[in-house]
């Protein structure tokens, strides 16, 4: 990772123009390979595609797929203190922090690629031996929101996140972790989701999920995110 010379100045100037309920300013990152060569897409393009970088309260949006470029986020220290700091018991802490911050504060996007982000096949997220730990950490992050007294749309988004994380646990060959995730979905008010969760907990579910998930994803996106 290499910070561009104007990164701090530009983000600080942007921050000074924001109200107190804005906790973070984030920007894009230039993606380079192991040799420092520019890649075809920026970090946010890789994560968001054609979607405009979201702003405001991002709690629900982050649950549908974390896109926040951690090295290129400037956060108010008092906001981090207000939500209790980082949970260092997690395998990775970023998503947990973004969710806690976004529940009560806003985020602002400042255009520009202000950090060079090196992607290589040996990184923590790309290493297969880390995938089970990463998904189990994700399960812990999501499930603690199930009893947090969220609004209906927020809780529904959390349950969606738990479901997709359980499906990914099957894909990375962690049926034990997947069964725990799917068991947490028995509180989901949608009968179709509870049925899928029971299916995911059965022996041999990994092969079924690999076949069924692409079809289910298409149906869900076509019908809207309220689908079971």
Q: What is the pLDDT of residues 39-91, one digit of tens each?
A: 878 999 999 999 999 999 999 999 988 899 999 999 999 999 999 999 989 98
Instruction: Tell whether the model's pLDDT for residue 5 goes beyond 90.
Output: no
Beta-carbon contacts of residue 162 (< 8 Å; ≥ 6 apart)? 139, 142, 143, 146, 181, 184, 185
CATH 3.90.550.10, the chain: domain bounds: 2-118
Say what the pLDDT of residue 180 is: 94
Please say whether the beta carbons of 69 and 115 come within 8 A: yes
| Alpha carbon distance 34, 176 (integer Å) | 35
Residue 223, pLDDT above cutoff 50:
no
Q: Between 202 and 47, whose confidence is greater?
A: 47
- What pLDDT, on a 0 to 100 scale, did the predictor assign at position 203? 80
User: What pLDDT is attached to residue 226?
Assistant: 43
Task: Answer with the residue of higher pLDDT: 194 or 41.
Answer: 194
Pairing of strands 22-32, 106-118: parallel
% of the chain exceeding 90 in pLDDT: 61
Q: Is the pLDDT of residue 228 over 60?
A: no
* The pLDDT of residue 16: 94
pLDDT in tens, 86-118: 998 998 889 999 999 999 999 999 999 999 888
Q: What is the pTM of this model?
A: 0.86
Compute the mean pLDDT over every residue in the chain, rounded to the nearest whole number. Answer: 87
Q: Which residues pair with 29 in a beta bridge?
A: 115
Q: CA-to-CA distance for 4 and 117, rounded, in angstroms? A: 11
Closest CA to 139 of 88, 98, 181: 181
Contact between 66 and 44 (Cβ < 8 Å): no
Provide the pLDDT for residue 220.
Answer: 54
Query: How large a percentage of the chain has pLDDT more than 70?
Result: 86
- 2-118 classified as CATH 3.40.50.300: no
Q: Which of 32-36, 49-53, 212-216 has the lowest mean pLDDT?
A: 212-216
**CA proximity to 138, closest of 192, 81, 99:** 99
Residue 225's pLDDT band (cuts 50, 70, 90)? very low
The whole-number pLDDT of residue 72 equals: 94
SS3 content of the chain, % helix, strand, coil (to 5): 50, 15, 35
pLDDT in tens, 127-166: 778 889 999 999 999 999 999 999 999 999 999 999 989 9
Query: CA 82 to CA 102: how far, in whole Å?
Result: 12
Average pLDDT over residues 174-194: 92
On whether the CB atoms of residues 133 and 159 are closer than 8 A, the answer is: no
């Amino acid at each position: 990772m290499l910070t561009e010379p104007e990164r701090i100045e530009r983000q600080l100037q942007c921050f000074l123009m924001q109200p107190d309920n804005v906790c973070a300013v984030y920007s894009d990152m230039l993606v380079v390979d192991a040799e420092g060569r520019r890649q075809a897409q920026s970090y946010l393009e890789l994560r968001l595609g054609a979607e405009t970088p979201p702003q405001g309260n991002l709690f629900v949006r982050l649950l549908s797929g974390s896109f926040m470029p951690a090295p290129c986020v400037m956060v108010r220290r008092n906001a981090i203190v207000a939500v209790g700091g980082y949970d260092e018991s997690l395998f990775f802490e970023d998503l947990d922090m973004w969710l806690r911050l976004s529940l009560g504060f806003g985020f602002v996007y400042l255009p520009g690629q202000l950090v060079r982000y090196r992607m290589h096949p040996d990184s923590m997220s790309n290493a297969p031996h880390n995938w089970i730990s990463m998904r189990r950490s994700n399960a812990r992050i999501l499930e603690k929101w199930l009893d947090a007294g969220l609004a209906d749309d927020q809780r529904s988004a959390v349950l969606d996140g738990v479901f997709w994380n359980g499906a990914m646990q099957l894909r990375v060959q962690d049926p034990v972790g997947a069964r725990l995730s799917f068991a947490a979905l028995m509180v989901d008010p949608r009968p179709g989701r509870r049925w899928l969760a029971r299916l995911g907990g059965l022996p041999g579910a990994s092969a079924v999920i690999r076949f069924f998930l692409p079809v289910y994803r298409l149906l869900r996106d076509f019908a809207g995110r309220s689908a079971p």
